[in-house]
Amino acid sequence: MISVEEALSKVFALVAPLETETVPLAEAAGRVLAAPAAARRDQPPFAASAMDGYAIRGLDAKPGDSFTVIGEAGAGHAFDGSVGPGQTARIFTGAPLPEGADRVVIQEDVTRDGDRIILGDKLDAGTNIRPAGGDFRAGDQLTAPRRLRPAELALLAAMNVPEVRVTRRPVVAIIATGDELVMPGETPRADQIIASNNFALKAMAEAAGAEARMLPIARDTEAELRLVLDMAADADLIVTIGGASVGDHDLVGKVAGEMGLDRAFYKIAMRPGKPLMAGKLNGVPMLGLPGNPVSSIVCGHIFMLPALRAMLGLAAEPAPRARAVLAEDIAANGPREHYMRARLDSAGDGLPRIAPYARQDSALLRLLTEADALLLRPRQDGPRKAGEIVEYLPL
Ligand SMILES: Nc1nc2c(c(=O)[nH]1)N[C@H]1C(S)=C(S)[C@@H](COP(=O)(O)OP(=O)(O)OC[C@H]3O[C@@H](n4cnc5c(N)ncnc54)[C@H](O)[C@@H]3O)O[C@H]1N2
Ligand code: MOO
């Protein structure tokens, strides 16, 4: 059995960044920017007032000084005159600073009487001016690759970039397998259960920026599995669920093999997730996940999501980890890297505290909804005491 790290590097070797496409900015949320985008103008394009008040020429102005109001500058309405000594223009937040002015006094610090203002006795020291180009300059770049979050979208809009080059969404075909499965809402026989983890994997793939297609459940016959795998031939990634182990009805490896699977590995030192399989099926990367609900979802976090990120042109990196303090003693781990469902407790200002659940059966979904982390136990890790620092994956 190979290690999780080795298996992940073999998965990365199966995938490559996809082509790019241009999309309007309003449809770019969550997409991965594939080429740097450059600002088309300075922001702000002019020195602008940061407050509502009065623009004066008066870096050395003192309480009691008075000025004559000669005009008004609003956002989108510049004052085209010039402010000389002893003069002022009424100004509002975002308005261009009139020529000649070098300071904005906020209106709270001023008494106005007709077209005169007198400065109050508590003047704030700042100029309340945003310099031209203070946010960015024309030509400044938003670098790629990167995920376009709301902040990046606002920045691109401010840069006057109306459309962006992004990586195409990977199409993920998700195939649940097994005679025991029916879809939610259908009527199961007494010996059947409801297919569940395919919904989690679809949601995970979509949240990562993929287009996920849930194919029909493949029954445990070679003919049906072949049929459904054929339906996935034009996907960018095939994800099968179940049928990966050693039982008489575990057909995925056999059928995919007969269809031409170039297998990269089968079985890894991971718990849950031991019977994971990966390879290329007629050119399409394929992950064969174990069927147990938690096993497949954990494998989704550890293998499918990093693979999708790499296909989107982001760095080929393992799922992000964080550190926490063990809340209780835990026993030694066995020969497989163990991802234990755990709960986190914020402990004031330091690292959070983490405690694994006592039950770790990979069929227990309810526990997974309660967990907010997967506590990571390295292979053959010794017993650990409360207070020691450990790694986890946020869920
Ligand atoms: N003799 C051995 N038996 C098993 C081994 C082993 O090493 N030797 N490994 C165990 C481990 S670990 C796992 S994990 C499972 C994985 O088995 P499969 O990948 O073949 O999965 P299935 O047998 O098809 O299903 C396992 C379990 O999960 C349920 N399932 C499957 N698909 C879904 C779905 N889409 N939604 C909800 N539940 C699903 C299925 O009904 C089974 O209960 O093998 C162990 N056995
Ligand atoms: O590896 Mo299985 O995935 O432990 O339940």
ipTM value: 0.98
DSSP 3-state of 198: helix
* Cα angle, residue 76 at apex, residues 72 and 78 outer, rounded to 5°: 40
Comparing CA positions, the residue from 199, 198, 180, 200 lying closest to residue 190 is 180
Comparing CA positions, the residue from 276, 208, 255, 258 lying closest to residue 236 is 208
Give residues with Cβ within 8 angstroms of 10, minimum separation 6: 2, 264, 265, 278
Q: Which residues of the chain does CATH 2.170.190.11 include?
A: 48-130
User: Residue 338: nearest ligand to its CA?
Assistant: 2
> Would you put residue 282 in left (φ > 0), alpha (ψ -120 to 50) or beta?
left
Neighbours of 357 (CB within 10 A): 15
Answer whether 180's CB lies under 8 Å from 191's CB.
yes
Q: Cα-Cα-Cα-Cα dihedral of 167, 307, 304, 212, to 10°?
A: 20
For ligand 1, whether the C-beta of 170 sits within 6 Å is no
Q: What span, in angstroms and rounded, lies between the C-alpha atoms of 178 and 291?
A: 9
CATH 3.20.20.10 fits 4-17+168-311, yes or no: no
Residue 274 CA, closest ligand 2 atom number: 1
% helix, strand, coil for the chain, step of 5: 20, 35, 45
Q: Among 2.40.340.10, 1.10.4160.10, 3.40.640.10, 1.10.10.520, name the CATH number for the domain at 322-394.
A: 2.40.340.10
Cα of 9 vs centre of ligand 2, distance in Å, is 21
**Reported CATH class of domain 48-130:** mainly beta
pLDDT, residue 105, reads 98
Cα of 250 vs centre of ligand 1, distance in Å, is 9
For ligand 1, whether the C-beta of 220 sits within 6 Å is no
Cα of 234 vs centre of ligand 2, distance in Å, is 30
Q: Long-range contacts made by residues 5-9, C-beta under 8 angstroms, separation at least 24?
A: 5/318, 6/265, 6/268, 7/265, 7/268, 7/270, 7/276, 7/278, 7/303, 8/302, 8/303, 8/306, 8/318
For ligand 1, whether the C-beta of 253 sits within 6 Å is no
DSSP 3-state of 345: strand
The CATH architecture to which 20-43+141-166 belongs is Alpha-Beta Complex (3.90)
For ligand 1, whether the C-beta of 169 sits within 6 Å is no
Residue 271 CA, chain-centre distance (Å), reads 26
For ligand 2, whether the C-beta of 333 sits within 6 Å is no
Q: Which residues of the chain does CATH 3.90.105.10 include?
A: 20-43+141-166
pTM: 0.94
Specify the residue with its C-alpha closest to ligand 2, atom 4. 272
Give residues with Cβ within 8 angstroms of 160, minimum separation 6: 39, 40, 41
pLDDT, residue 348, reads 77
pLDDT, residue 247, reads 85
DSSP 3-state of 167: strand
Paired sense of beta strands 48-49 and 129-130, if any = antiparallel
Predicted confidence pLDDT, tens digits, the chain (395 residues): 999 999 999 999 999 999 999 999 999 999 999 999 999 999 999 999 999 999 999 999 999 999 999 999 999 999 999 999 999 999 999 999 999 999 999 999 999 999 999 999 989 889 999 999 999 999 999 999 999 999 999 999 999 999 999 999 999 999 999 999 999 999 999 999 999 999 999 999 999 999 999 999 999 999 999 999 999 999 999 999 999 988 888 899 999 999 999 999 999 999 999 999 999 999 999 999 999 999 999 999 999 999 999 999 999 999 999 999 999 999 999 999 999 999 999 877 899 999 999 999 999 999 999 999 999 999 999 999 999 999 999 99
Q: Which residues of the chain does CATH 2.40.340.10 include?
A: 322-394
The pair of structure tokens assigned to 158 is 């401010």
Amino acid at 372: D
DSSP 3-state of 207: helix
Residue 298 CA, closest ligand 2 atom number: 3
Q: What span, in angstroms and rounded, lies between the C-alpha atoms of 59 and 85?
A: 11
Specify the residue with its C-alpha closest to ligand 1, atom 32. 291
For ligand 2, whether the C-beta of 295 sits within 6 Å is yes
pLDDT, residue 125, reads 87
